[in-house]
Structure formats: structure tokens, C-alpha cells
Amino acid sequence: DRSDASGTGYYSAESSSYQTDLLELAFRGRSPAVPRVLGPHDPAGQTPHGAVLGPGAGDNASAALGLSAGAGDCVVSLGTSGVV
């Protein structure tokens, strides 16, 4: 999902794409295979019984979304990562 991909340092959440220049630099000119990054409404797959599977998200990103914080709000989260 986008929250995990953006944590890699070579995915741009702003452009919704991998930063291929960084990847090619890190891999000495080669372009590594990278997974498709799913949006919140994109199906990730399907179970044998037909249930649609959606993308996941990191715990901190999910918690931030669940708070419905808006512009001007301040939230402090201490868990698997510390974020202000």
C-alpha cells in the first residue's frame, strides 16, 4: 500500500510513482523489479470463494486515518514508530 511504499524512501506519495532515478543509482544502473502500489480502493486479489481482498496499511498510518485529524490538529503517536 502507499503508506508502506512511501516509507521505503524511493516511492513518491506525491506523484504516486517510484523514483526510478534513486533505484537506478542504488542498483548501479539496473532497474529492479518493484511491486505495484495499490490505492485504498484497488483490489489486491480475491479468495477462492470470491471475497475481494484490499490493500493493507501500516499500523501508524491506519491509526492516523482513524483519528480523522484535520488541518491544525496535533496528534502524538508512540507505538512502533514515534510520530508528531
Residues forming the active site: 59
Here the cell at position 48 is: 477462492
Is 57:3 a contact under the CB 8 Å cutoff?
yes
- 11 exposed, middle or buried (CB, 10 Å; 0-12, 13-18, 19+)? buried
